[in-house]
Amino acid sequence: MAATSNPPAAAMPRHLAIIMDGNGRWARQRFLPRPFGHREGVKAVRRVVNACVDRGIEILTLFAFSSENWRRPAWEVNLLMKLFLISLRREISALQQNKVRIRFIGERSAFADSLQAAIHAAETATANNTAITLVIAANYGGRWDIVQAARQLAREVQQGLLTPEQITAEQFDRRLSLHDLPEPDLFIRTGSEQRISNFLLWQLAYTELYFTDRLWPDFDAADLDRACAAFAQRQRRFGQTGEQVEQVEQVERGRSA
Ligand code: IPE
Ligand code: IPE
Ligand code: MG
């Protein structure tokens, strides 16, 4: 096939990870209390999940609540927990219909029993869906993830199942929350801030980072397309030189011609 102007399939991220930020500011801009921003943020989640399915993105990981978000005023934390529970119960049939497999990462034992049960029910009910894997990071922290992996490894060494020398990056990776999924190709943070805020620290090592001023409740399919277009322009080198990467791409182009 002759070269076309269509970007190669590899130019689309397989795994997209998003820090959904700016709900509070969205509400404040409208002289509304913060909860209005969070409620609107849930609508944006629905919109973006569907847009990702349409674009063939295989995995979408969303940062919903960080391990540091407990520091917010109790009323806001309570509201967010209620919103999680309501949304999860309300969305389950839509998830099924759209063949979304939902999964949670983070320390869920801190949640109320009702929320833990809803999480478990949603994961079980959607386990065999194949359109997209939606990972919700809730009470998640990148440092927590690394620490729990280290703890598991230490336990295994103590039990004589592993020697310290056998601890490699691969072994470490296997004990992290996203061990069975490819690392994110593209990271998006909405709401202007340019920081990771303890999201996927280990897994973002070679992820392309994209920051936008758009506030999460306003984020839509066109914004997603802009981020994907920026991603398609990046050259991922993984430590190699640009020339090396171009050579491999040339060979691959030749093969598919
Ligand atoms: C992100 O929006 C949602 C959560 C962290 C739960 P924020 O609530 O952080 O919104 P801003 O940053 O205050 O605008
Ligand atoms: C990051 O947003 C966490 C989530 C979006 C869930 P924050 O709004 O909590 O991050 P900081 O505090 O501005 O770094
Ligand atoms: Mg914020």
Q: What pLDDT was estimated at residue 257? A: 81
Residue 1 within any structural domain of the chain: no
Give the pLDDT confidence of 59-77 residue by residue, as tens digits.
999 999 999 999 999 999 9
**Catalytic center residues:** 21, 69
Which ligand has the nearest atom to the CA of 84? 1
Q: Is any atom of ligand 2 closer than 6 Å to the C-beta of 193?
A: yes
Residue 190 within any structural domain of the chain: yes
Q: What pLDDT was estimated at residue 10? A: 55
Provide the domain count of the chain.
1
Burial of 228 (0-12, 13-18, 19+ CB in 10 A): buried
Residue 3 within any structural domain of the chain: no
Residue 59 within any structural domain of the chain: yes
Contact 122, 92 (CB under 8 A): yes
Residue 4 within any structural domain of the chain: no
**Residue of minimum CA distance from atom 3 in ligand 2:** 66
Residue 6 has pLDDT above 60, yes or no: no
Residue span of the structural domain in which 213 resides: 9-256
CATH of residue 152's domain is 3.40.1180.10
Ligand 1 nearest atom to the CA of residue 26, by list position: 14
Write the Ramachandran bin of 159: left for phi over 0, alpha for psi from -120 to 50, otherwise beta.
alpha
Give the pLDDT confidence of 17-57 residue by residue, as tens digits.
999 999 999 999 999 999 999 999 999 999 999 999 999 99
Residue 138 within any structural domain of the chain: yes
Residue 2 within any structural domain of the chain: no
pTM: 0.95
Q: Which amino acid is at 79?
A: L
CA atoms within 13 A on the CB side of 174: 8
